[in-house]
Chain A
Amino acid sequence: SAVISQKPSRDICQRGTSLTIQCQVDSQVTMMFWYRQQPGQSLTLIATANQGSEATYESGFVIDKFPISRPNLTFSTLTVSNMSPEDSSIYLCSVWGGTEAFFGQGTRLTVV
């Protein structure tokens, strides 16, 4: 199993600003994933973060808007840049544990 910690758990931000979300895993993992969950919706994969290489983004998501860092095998950050109210969502970090995917508790972001 894997234990994932995300920071912050929630934040309220002004439009036009940026927020960096941190994800810490208690074990080394090759791949980490970032998801967005808009209010009342399902999870949408933003990107896959690999250590030592650039993140791979899903259709509809771009690096300029959601830059990702992956400095080591236990940590990743997702930045939501130049925020607008449409970015209000829960952002979740996930890792593959060999037999299942584990998720953090999420970061609830509200953009005002």
Chain B
Amino acid sequence: GESVGLHLPTLSVQEGDNSIINCAYSNSASDYFIWYKQESGKGPQFIIDIRSNMDKRQGQRVTVLLNKTVKHLSLQIAATQPGDSAVYFCAENPQTGNQFYFGTGTSLTVIP
């Protein structure tokens, strides 16, 4: 499979602060990326996606940035809330089908 890694395995932030989660991917041909959130005991849930023809995409309180030059993704969460505490994964689609390859994961803890 592809190699998709995250820089930080854990992240703790104060409630109300912004969070930034980073991800590196290895396949320069990948053209589609998704960030997933996984709460304890549940399957991953879609947060936001971005295609390789974009540098930035915004959702509700979340922004994904894509830097194709250095093969780097980031997820920014604004005004982090306790409900944001979870493990976050980036996943890449390498154009060979609809399967995704997942990064290591970052555990986000929001401190009230």
Contacts and interface: CB of A to CB of B under 8 A. Distances in A.
Contacts, number: 53
Q: Is the interface of A mostly helix, strand, loop or mixed?
A: strand
Interface in B76-103: 89, 91, 97-103
A10 B49 CA distance: 30
B48 to A, nearest CB: 10
Interface stretch (A14-22, A66-74, A94-102): A94-102
B1 interface: yes
A103 B98 contact: no
A4 B46 CA distance: 14
A110 to B, nearest CB: 14
B44 A45 contact: no
Chain A contact patch, size range: 20 to 34
A103 B1 contact: no
A96 B98 contact: yes
Interface in A12-59: 31, 33, 35, 41-45, 48, 58-59
B100 A42 contact: no
A89 B104 CA distance: 15
A104 B43 CA distance: 6
Contacts of B89: 42-43
Given A43-B89, A58-B1, A59-B1, A101 B46 contact: yes
Given A41-B105, A45-B101, A94-B100, 7 more contacts: A35-B102, A41-B104, A42-B105, A96-B98, A100-B34, A101-B91, A105-B41
Report, nearest first, the 8 A-B pairs whose CB atoms are least far apart: A103-B43, A96-B98, A43-B102, A100-B46, A42-B102, A42-B105, A103-B44, A105-B43
5 contacts: A33-B100, A45-B99, A45-B100, A45-B102, A105-B43
